[in-house]
Amino acid sequence: MSERFFLAAPPHDGRAVLTGDEARHLVRVLRARVGDEVCVFAGTGVEWPARIVQIGRDEVELDVGAARPDAVEGPPLVLAVALPKGERQKWLVEKLTELGVARLVPLVTARGVAEATPAALARLRRTVIEASKQCGRNTLLEVAAPATPAELFARLDPGTWAFVADPAGPPLVTIPRPVAVGGMLALVGPEGGFTSEEVAAAVAAGSTRASLGPHVLRIETAAIAAAAALSCLARTHDA
């Protein structure tokens, strides 16, 4: 079977158990049987080949093989985004997962239009799992607690290369990456844009202003463009 399944807990002593919706999908939708082979992951950066050894009502027991770790990637990429409304949030998280973003921080801004409630964050974290299953990613995108720009910069790791999306800045792709980078951070504001005070505070905290193109972008488009550009810059530098 080519589909991948998410484990709530990593394997132990060569065995693992699929539970809940994952188990029900495997058995009731895909009609799996004992002896069938699948691929499983637990969001820890590895995946395992596995064989079904027992099928229960709402769980499937697996015999797992040797772990297959992910290749070593470049510096971790964090996107701090003033979330858009409704289903656009889900689309945003799905694409950032595919692009390899390490963490998404819902950004609290003066002009923000959507609140990152506990229920909304739970839905986005479920989207991360589904997107990871589809795209082959074994390390889950972390959907962090919401934060203001000031809170974000106060706990920023040293050596982070930070940008704030600003139409008045130079194009992001033209800004040379420093040799030593501990991580990368891009801040994307709400549809009304960051206030001048928010941009000034980000620059004062060490962030570089950067433009994402000549046109006005929706929140999710800007976030995806920033993630794609920074991912390419990281890989080009490491190549």
pLDDT tens figures, 121-144? 999 999 999 999 999 999 999 999
- Cα distance between residue 130 and residue 66, in whole Å: 23
Predicted local confidence at residue 87, as pLDDT: 93
The pLDDT score that the predictor gives to residue 157 is 85
Out of 107-111, 180-184, 211-215, which region has the weakest mean confidence (pLDDT)?
180-184
The pLDDT assigned to 1 comes to 45
* Percentage, residues of the chain above pLDDT 90: 80
Reply yes or no on whether the pLDDT at 238 is more than 60: no
CA 34 to chain centre: 34
Predicted pLDDT of residue 71: 82
Q: What are the angstrom distances between the C-alpha of 232 and each of 58, 96, 131, 167, 237?
A: 42, 14, 21, 21, 9
- Span 50-68, mean pLDDT? 95
Average pLDDT for residues 190-219, to the nearest whole number? 93
Confidence band of 92 (pLDDT split at 50, 70, 90): very high
Confidence of residue 239 (pLDDT cuts 50, 70, 90): very low
pLDDT value, residue 2: 59
Domains and CATH numbers, the chain: 4-69 (2.40.240.20), 77-238 (3.40.1280.10)
* pLDDT-above-70 percentage for the chain: 96
Task: Output the average pLDDT for the chain.
Answer: 92
The torsion angles phi and psi of 205, rounded to 5 degrees, stand at -85, 0
Give the pair of three-digit tokens for residue 152: 């974000």
- Does position 237 have pLDDT exceeding 70, yes or no? no
